[in-house]
Chains A and B, each alone.
Chain A
Amino acid sequence: MNCRRAKKKLSPYMDQALGDKEKLELERHLEDCSSCGHILRQLERMHSLVQKIPMEKPRPAFYEGLYHRLSQKEKAPGEGLFRVRYLWPVFPMLRLRRLAATVAILLAVFGSSFYLWRSLSVPEITLRAFDEEYLQSRQMIPLTDELILPISDERE
Chain B
Amino acid sequence: MKPSDEELVDRFRSGDEDSFRILVERHSPRIFNIACRTVRDRNLAEDISQEVFLRVYRFLDGFKKECRFSTWLYRITINVCFNAQRKRKEEPKVLIPSWEVANVGSNPGTPQLEDESFSPQKTLEKKELTTKIKSAIDSLPGVLKMTFILREFEDLSYRELAKVLRCSEGTIKSRLCRAREALRQKLEIYLSEGL
Contact = CB atoms under 8 A, between A and B. Distances in A.
Interface of A: 7-8, 10-12, 15, 17, 39, 41-43, 45-47, 49-59, 62-63, 65-67, 69-70, 73, 85-86, 88-89, 95
B129 A49 contact: yes
Nearest to A65: B50
Contacts of B13: 89
Given A12-B176, A59-B46, 20 more contacts: A10-B180, A11-B177, A11-B180, A41-B193, A46-B184, A46-B187, A49-B133, A49-B191, A52-B113, A54-B112, A56-B33, A56-B36, A56-B45, A56-B110, A63-B24, A63-B28, A66-B24, A66-B28, A66-B50, A88-B61
Main secondary structure of the interface of B (DSSP, over half): helix
Q: How extensive is the interface on chain B, given as a class?
A: 35 or more
B58 interface: yes
B142 to A, nearest CB: 18
Interface string B22-57: 001100110011001100001001100110011001
B161 to A, nearest CB: 10
Interface of B: 13, 15, 20-21, 24-25, 28-29, 32-33, 36-37, 42, 45-46, 49-50, 53-54, 57-58, 61-62, 110-114, 129-130, 133-134, 137, 151-153, 158, 173, 176-177, 180-181, 183-184, 187-188, 190-191, 193
